Structure formats: C-alpha cells, structure tokens
Amino acid sequence: MLGDIERILLDEGAILPRLEAMAAEISALYEGEELTVLCILNGSIIFAADLLRRLNLPLQLQCLHLSSYHGGTQSSGTVTFGALDLAALRGRHVLVLDDILDSGLTLQSIAQRLQQEAAPKSVRAAVLLQKRRKRAHAAAADFVGFEIEDEFVVGYGLDYQGRYRNLPFIGVLKRELYA
C-alpha cells in the first residue's frame, strides 16, 4: 500500500494537534448547548473518532451512509443517501462531519435535505480537508481542518475503490493507479 503513495501530505503528528484545536473551537461555539453529530460514512469514520473524543459537549451521534463517488476519482454528480433518522434531528443543533469538501455537492445536498425535512435548530459542517478549487455548488464548511491543493488523496478514512482508508496519514495517490 505504501508503494502506491506518491507523497505524504499530513501525518498523525500534524492531524491530531489540528483536531485538538478544531474541537476546542467547536466546543466553545456550542457551549451550554447539546449537539447531534452526523458522521458521513465511510470517509469520515476516522476523523469522527478522533474529533469526537476531543469534544467537551453533551452530544449524540448519528451516522449516515452517503456517496457521490462510484469507484473513480471524479464525483458522479449525484448523491446517494442511506437511511437517516429525521425525527431524532428535530430541534437539534446538527454538526455534519465529512472527510473532504471538494465540489460541495455532498454538503449542499445534506444541508438542503436536513433543512427541508428535519427542522433542526441549526446545521453546520466540519470537514477534515478542503480542496483549494472553484466549487460548482454553494457549500461552505464552518470548520476546516486543512486546506489542500486539488489532488486526489487517500488515507485516514479516505479511499480509492474502497482501499487505503486504514493508512494512518493522508497522502497523494500515484497518478498511474487511476489515470
């Protein structure tokens, strides 16, 4: 697996202190409130595990299976939703956790769906990564771990064709593996 990585962008030594700071920011913003964290599977699973343990807030966790990639490195342009317990989100502060903000389609779709169907008290988003690019969809994250260049990355939850999620760092996948 390591041989498939062109270069490491962020290792745990960089990621964990950043999550500590993000968690402090989030805990301060919601101080005195209760939160529902909506973890977007599968990509956010490791980000969520590391961030949640640093949040100093009463919270509930809900996971949502959602995908906009279907095997390749380009977004398919449609988002497939798994089951979502909308009733449990009514009147709650919802913080959506996603691994990476790319075109913005995923976050825009989920924010729209929540506002239309769940009547939450608020909806915000935290992403581990945000790509430096022009976004086709009007979506912004309230909390961003790192800004990265527009390259296809894997590891720390992010996959290519289902693999590499277990790498303990974020790295750029060698182009010849998908080009």
Query: Is the CB of 58 or the CB of 168 nearer to ligand 5GP?
Result: 168
The 80-81 sheet, strands edge to edge: 80-81, 59-67, 35-41, 93-101, 122-131, 143-148
Among 102, 130, 141, 145, binds ligand 5GP (CB under 6 A): 102
The 153-154 sheet, strands edge to edge: 5-10, 170-173, 153-154
For residue 63, the partner it binds in Mg ion, ligand 5GP, none, with Cβ less than 5 to 8 A by kind, is none
CA atoms within 13 Å, Cβ hemisphere of 162 = 2
Binding site for Mg ion (CB under 5 A): 43
Q: What are phi and psi of 108, to 5 degrees?
A: -65, -45
Closest CA to 39 of 171, 160, 157: 157
Rounded Cα distance, 168 and 141, in Å: 24
Among 99, 120, 125, 143, binds ligand 5GP (CB under 6 A): 99
Site residues (CB under 6 A) for ligand 5GP, limited to 131-170: 152-154, 158-160
Identified catalytic residue from 50, 99, 102, 159: 102
Q: Is 98 in the site for ligand 5GP (CB under 6 A)?
A: yes
Closest CA to 129 of 155, 164, 94, 161: 155
Site string for ligand 5GP, 43-82 (x = CB under 6 A): x------------------------xx-----x-------
- Indicate the DSSP class of residue 74: S
Query: Is the CB of 50 or the CB of 98 nearer to ligand 5GP?
Result: 98
Active site residue 102: yes
Query: Is the CB of 70 or the CB of 90 nearer to ligand 5GP?
Result: 70
Q: Under the rule (CB under 6 A), what is the footprint of ligand 5GP?
A: 43, 68-69, 75, 98-106, 152-154, 158-160
